[in-house]
């Protein structure tokens, strides 16, 4: 038998197989969606996704509507704890794994409508304690299933469920749902309903029911369901009704306590019943609400209106009412409809604001939009209770004091207004889009305004006008001419990020800069302005301040290094060069403390005449040296620098009496510096400076500020004053030779 292969060899054989086994399948790779804006809202609709795509972890809203997603797994939404809204509307969902939504503990809105879910699982919602809005409409489940379905949704306020496949609603299906702002139930084919199933939901804000089948085939079921959601202050919308006989309207007898709105095939009902019978039925069963839409009604007789004396809601939208027929409908404004709270005449043929509503003491909501108004009277009488007025879609060119002061909501959109100067102290919402306004109205006229919508391409919009709105919290102002000042751009960009005091309710792309010219056409959200551009006054002040500081520092430095003194010295030297006449053999530079040596030794020795005998013996002419001393020869009244420079320029040599006193004197240093200026006039022969050392003085004893003296002592031979008497004649002879400037020495 052969030797078995070693373990490393076996691993090498299987390694390619293992690598192929673990190689990822391209079809299993998760898709991604990068359509997220600055508000962290991701719009991934119509993307053709078959799986939940990956998006930024910080996303707040995720819209996956109208894709081909068939399954949501437990891992698809991990990492999205900040998500507030998720929409899977219009997909092909058939499977949602039990823990698919567990990571979304901040989720407030979930839309699973129009999918293929045949059953609902209560485990989907166990961890969604923050959920406020849930839409399950349009799925083919036949029942809500478990009584635990909504058990943990304590904050749920808007619920929609059902479809044409829903056949039963049993007691306990809505356990845990205690109060709702909106309830929508699609149950056109409902066959079984346990009375009291919906009765536990209270308070209930608004109800929308689709009950086509029950109204036709099972009026008892419809009556039980309507009775469970009938409350005096709960409006109800009934959809998909087909009323064709007395039996089909029997469920309405359960609605005598509440307000009901019909949005269905009402034409059939009018066909089979006379006006009088219809109005009588309204009076008996739903005498608080009356709605006739798109019916070409041009007149509602006053005697018919009187039957509706308790009417609270009258909607005659999109009919043929005129100013004349409106008088009949409202009984000439005699107050017959005194309980009316909501009145809607939009989409008719009215041309003047009616005075007929003055006696409707409870009227709060008036809609007269899309009529033919073009002139507003200067004065009007309105009910003191009127809070909402809609005059949009008309032809008004001016707003007058006719406007009621009690208004809280005013819609003047799509008119021809060029100015708006009316004071409305109670106004909270204002809609002005589609007008011809040149500027934003003054916000001081609306001290309580909280929401403003103004989208007019010709309106010039800048921050100074917006500041006048002290309580504004919501703004929709895209498509205006925006003056992109630094402050306004910063305000809008903060609002885009959700950090501003004013929330922008339209898209960021609608805000385009109109000026200044370099920014014209750019999106406000993409503008980046420099600090220098935004704070020009501050930048100028800072630059001036820095320049001033630099100047002060420079002046101090120049003063410390005696620069000003050197400037004056230069000027004095230039003036002295205009007087080239030599008057002295030497200028003597010495410290005042060494004046005794100069006066006792130097001056007597160099200024005395040589004796005739000495001159004859040496065969040299008689000569006396002329020395310039500041005590004796400076002109009184002149600046000392002028005297020094003038004396040096008129002297052939400069004699420096060096001692510790000399290097301690600033004036001596200046005189030494002056001597170096002679290097620039081109006449210096290198022997203009004569150094006399009165006492031993090493270069290390010389301060650094005497840098020129150090240099001079290194390059020039200096004379040392001898302390011995017998050596002094030799010293004086050397000095005289230096003063003469020749090579001959005295014997």
Question: Residue 575's pLDDT band (boundaries 50, 70, 90)?
Answer: low
Boundary of a domain, candidates 260, 280, 305? 260
Helix (H), strand (E), coil (C) string for 457-470: CCCEECHHHHCCCC
Say whether both 646 and 560 belong to one domain.
Answer: no
Mean pLDDT of 458-471: 74
Residues 599 and 723 occupy one common structural domain: yes
The H or E element containing residue 496 is: helix 486-496
Give the percent of the chain with pLDDT over 90.
24
Whether 54 shows a pLDDT value over 80: the answer reads yes
Q: Is residue 55, in this structure, part of any structural domain at all? A: no
Kindly state whether residues 515 and 548 are assigned to the same domain: no
> What distance in Å separates the CA atoms of residue 621 and residue 619, rounded to the nearest whole number?
7
- Distance (Å, whole) CA 360 – CA 611: 141
Number of domains in the chain: 5
Residue 232 in 3-state DSSP? coil
The Cα 136–Cα 156 span in angstroms is 13
Mean pLDDT of 66-86: 92
Q: How far apart are CA 406 and CA 401, in angstroms?
A: 12
Please tell me whether residues 456 and 519 are part of one structural domain.
yes
Residue 40 belongs to a domain:
no
pLDDT reading at 370 higher than 80: yes
Are the beta carbons of 82 and 62 closer than 8 angstroms? Answer: no
First-to-final CA distance of the chain: 128
- Cα(250)–Cα(215) distance, integer angstroms: 9
Q: Is residue 39 part of a domain?
A: no
Stretch 128-142: mean pLDDT: 94
d(CA 720, CA 658): 9
In a domain, 43, yes or no: no
Of the two residues 248 and 260, the one the predictor is more confident about is: 248
Q: Are residues 132 and 242 in the same domain?
A: yes
Q: Dihedrals φ, ψ of 204, to 5°? A: -125, 115
We report the CATH number of the domain holding residue 712 as: 3.40.50.10140
The H or E element containing residue 265 is none
* Same-domain check for residues 396 and 518: no
For residues 262 and 184, the model is more confident at 184
Listed residue (134, 131, 82, 77) closest to 111, CA to CA? 134
The pLDDT tens digits for 144-198 are: 987 789 987 888 999 999 999 999 999 889 988 888 999 999 999 999 999 989 9
Q: Which residue has the higher pLDDT, 639 or 391?
A: 391
C-alpha closest to that of 164 among 223, 216, 222, 114? 114
Sign of CA pseudo-dihedral 605, 609, 613, 616: positive
Beta bridge partners of 209: 185, 238
Q: What's the mean pLDDT when you consider all of the chain?
A: 79
CB 226 within 8 A of CB 256: no
381: CATH: 3.80.10.10
**Number of residues that make up the chain:** 747
Same domain assignment for residues 516 and 551: no
Quick one: pLDDT at residue 291?
A: 66
What is the spatial distance between Cα 195 and Cα 148, in angstroms, rounded to a whole number? 19
Prior bond to 516 cis, omega within 30?
yes
Query: What average pLDDT does this structure show over 368-388?
Result: 89
Q: For residue 371, is it within any domain? A: yes
Distance CA 507, CA 524 (A): 11
**pLDDT higher for 79 or 118?**
118
- Report how far residue 191's alpha carbon sits from residue 221's, in angstroms, rounded to the nearest whole number: 8
Average pLDDT for 528-551: 86
Structure tokens given for 256: 């005598």
- 41 domain residue, yes or no: no
Residue 494 placed within a domain: yes
Per-residue confidence at 677, pLDDT binned at 50, 70, 90? low
563 pLDDT above the threshold of 90: no
Give the Cα separation of 521 and 515 in Å (integer). Answer: 8
309 shares its domain with 450: no
Please list the alpha-helical segments (H only) found in 507-602: 531-534, 536-560, 563-576, 595-597
Residue 298's pLDDT band (boundaries 50, 70, 90)? confident
How far is 376 from 352, CA to CA, in rounded Å?
7
pLDDT, residue 358, reads 85
**Residue 289 pLDDT grade (very low, low, confident, very high; cuts 50, 70, 90):** low
Please classify residue 8 by burial: count the beta carbons closer than 10 Å to its beta carbon, then call 0-12 exposed, 13-18 middle and 19+ buried: exposed
At 261 the pLDDT is 46
Alpha helices in 99-232 (DSSP H): 212-217, 219-228
For 11-15, 549-553, 585-589, which range has the lowest pLDDT when averaged over its residues?
11-15
- Report the C-alpha gap between 177 and 293 in whole angstroms: 34
For residues 407 and 428, what is the distance between their CA atoms, to the nearest angstrom? Answer: 8
Q: Which of 135-139, 473-477, 481-485 has the lowest mean pLDDT?
A: 481-485
**Residue 350 counted as domain residue:** yes
Confidence category of residue 391, pLDDT binned at 50, 70, 90: very high
Which residues have C-beta within 8 Å of that of residue 77, sequence separation ≥ 6?
52, 83, 86, 100, 101, 103, 104
At residue 490, the pLDDT reads 78
**Structural domain containing residue 329:** 297-416
Task: Please tell me whether residues 728 and 591 are part of one structural domain.
Answer: yes
Of 393, 400, 386, 338, the closest CA to residue 371 belongs to 393
Compute the distance between CA of residue 654 and CA of residue 686 in angstroms, rounded to an integer.
12
Evaluate if residue 367 carries a pLDDT over 70: yes
Whether 580 and 708 have beta carbons less than 8 Å apart is answered as no
Higher pLDDT among residues 364 and 336, named by residue: 364
Together in a domain, 324 and 365: yes
d(CA 466, CA 474): 12
Secondary structure of residue 411 in the 3-state scheme: strand
Please give the pLDDT value at position 742: 54
- Please choose, from the candidates 593, 739, 708, the residue with its C-alpha nearest in 3D space to the C-alpha of residue 662: 593
Residue showing tokens 């409908």: 329
Question: Residue 725 above 70 pLDDT?
Answer: yes
Give mean pLDDT, residues 617-628: 64
Res. 9: pLDDT tops 80? no
CA distances in angstroms from 159 to 40, 111, 121, 592, listed in the order given:
26, 10, 16, 108
For 422-455, write each residue's pLDDT tens digit.
999 999 999 998 888 888 888 899 999 988 988 7
Do 680 and 731 lie in a common domain?
yes
Least confident of 266-280, 285-299, 553-567, 663-677: 266-280
The C-alpha atoms of residue 715 and residue 426 are separated, in whole angstroms, by 97
226 & 146 share domain? yes
Q: Which two tokens stand for residue 602?
A: 């130097």
More confident residue, 118 or 516: 118
Last residue of a domain, one of 211, 233, 260: 260
Nearest Cα to 450, choosing from 417, 475, 468?
Answer: 475
- The whole-angstrom separation of Cα 44 and Cα 30 is 14
Quote the CA–CA distance of 585 and 571 in Å, as a whole number. Answer: 24
């Amino acid at each position: 038998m052969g030797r078995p292969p070693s373990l490393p060899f076996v691993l090498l054989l299987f390694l390619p197989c293992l690598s192929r086994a673990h190689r990822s399948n391209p079809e299993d790779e998760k898709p991604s969606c990068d359509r997220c804006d600055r508000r962290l809202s991701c719009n991934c609709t119509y993307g053709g996704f078959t799986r939940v795509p990956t998006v930024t972890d910080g996303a707040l809203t995720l819209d996956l509507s109208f894709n081909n997603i068939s399954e949501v797994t437990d891992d698809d939404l991990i990492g999205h704890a900040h998500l507030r809204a998720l929409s899977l509307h219009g997909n092909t969902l058939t499977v949602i794994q039990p823990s698919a939504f567990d990571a979304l503990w901040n989720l407030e809105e979930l839309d699973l409508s129009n999918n293929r879910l045949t059953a609902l699982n209560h485990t989907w919602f166990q961890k969604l304690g923050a959920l406020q809005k849930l839409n399950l409409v349009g799925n083919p489940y036949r029942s809500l299933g478990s009584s635990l379905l909504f058990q943990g949704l304590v904050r749920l306020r808007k619920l929609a469920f059902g479809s044409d496949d829903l056949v039963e609603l049993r007691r306990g299906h809505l356990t845990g749902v205690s109060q709702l702002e909106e309830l929508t139930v699609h149950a056109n084919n409902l066959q079984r309903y346990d009375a009291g199933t919906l009765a536990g939901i209270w308070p209930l804000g608004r109800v929308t029911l689709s009950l086509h089948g029950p109204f036709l085939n099972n009026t008892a079921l419809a009556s039980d369901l309507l009775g469970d959601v009938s409350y005096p202050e709960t409006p109800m919308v009934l959809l998909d009704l087909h009323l064709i006989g007395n039996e089909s309207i029997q469920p309405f007898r359960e609605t005598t306590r509440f307000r009901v709105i019909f949005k269905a095939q009402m034409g059939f009902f009018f066909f089979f019943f006379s006006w009088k019978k219809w109005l009588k039925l309204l009076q008996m069963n739903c005498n608080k609400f009356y709605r006739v839409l798109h019916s070409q009604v041009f007149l509602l007789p006053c005697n018919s209106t009187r039957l509706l004396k308790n009417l609270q809601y009258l909607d005659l939208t999109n009919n043929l009412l005129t100013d004349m027929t409106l008088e009949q409908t409202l009984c000439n404004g005699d107050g017959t409809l005194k309980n009316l709270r909501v009145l809607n005449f939009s989409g008719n043929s009215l041309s003047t604001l009616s005075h007929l509503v003055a006696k409707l003491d409870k009227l709060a909501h008036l809609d007269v939009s899309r009529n033919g108004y073009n002139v507003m009277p200067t004065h009007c009488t309105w009910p003191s209770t009127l809070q909402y007025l809609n005059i949009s879609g008309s032809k008004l060119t001016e707003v007058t004091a006719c406007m009621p002061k009690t208004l809280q909501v005013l819609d003047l959109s799509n008119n021809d207004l060029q100015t708006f100067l009316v004071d409305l102290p109670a106004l909270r919402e204002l809609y002005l889009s589609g007008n011809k306004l040149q500027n934003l109205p003054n916000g001081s006229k609306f001290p309580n305004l909280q929401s403003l919508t103004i989208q007019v391409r010709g309106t010039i919009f800048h921050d100074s006008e917006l500041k006048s709105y002290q309580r504004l919290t919501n703004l929709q102002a895209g498509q205006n001419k925006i003056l992109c000042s630094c402050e306004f751009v910063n305000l809008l960009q903060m609002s885009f990020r959700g950090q501003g005091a004013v929330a922008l309710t339209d898209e960021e792309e609608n805000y385009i800069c109109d000026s200044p010219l370099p920014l014209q056409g750019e999106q406000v959200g993409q503008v980046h302005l420099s600090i220098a551009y935004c704070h020009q006054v501050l930048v100028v002040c800072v630059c001036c301040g820095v320049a001033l500081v630099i100047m002060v520092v420079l002046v101090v430095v120049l003063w410390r290094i005696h620069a000003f003194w050197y400037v004056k010295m230069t000027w004095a030297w230039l003036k002295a060069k205009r007087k080239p006449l030599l008057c002295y053999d030497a200028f003597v530079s010495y410290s005042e403390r060494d004046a005794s040596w100069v006066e006792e030794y130097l001056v007597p020795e160099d200024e005395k005449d040589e004796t005739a005998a000495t001159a004859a013996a040496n065969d040299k002419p008689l000569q006396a040296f002329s020395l310039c001393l500041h005590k004796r020869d400076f002109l009184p009244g002149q600046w000392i620098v002028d005297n020094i420079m003038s004396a040096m320029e008129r002297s052939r040599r400069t004699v420096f009496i060096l001692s510790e006193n000399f290097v301690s004197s600033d004036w001596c240093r200046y005189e030494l510096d002056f001597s170096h200026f002679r290097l620039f006039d081109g006449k210096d022969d290198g022997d203009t400076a004569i150094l006399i050392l009165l006492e031993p003085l090493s270069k290390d004893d010389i301060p650094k500020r005497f840098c020129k003296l150090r240099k001079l002592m290194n390059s020039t031979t200096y004379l040392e004053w001898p302390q011995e008497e017998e050596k002094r004649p030799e010293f004086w002879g050397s000095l005289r030779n230096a003063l003469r400037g020749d090579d001959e020495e005295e014997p």
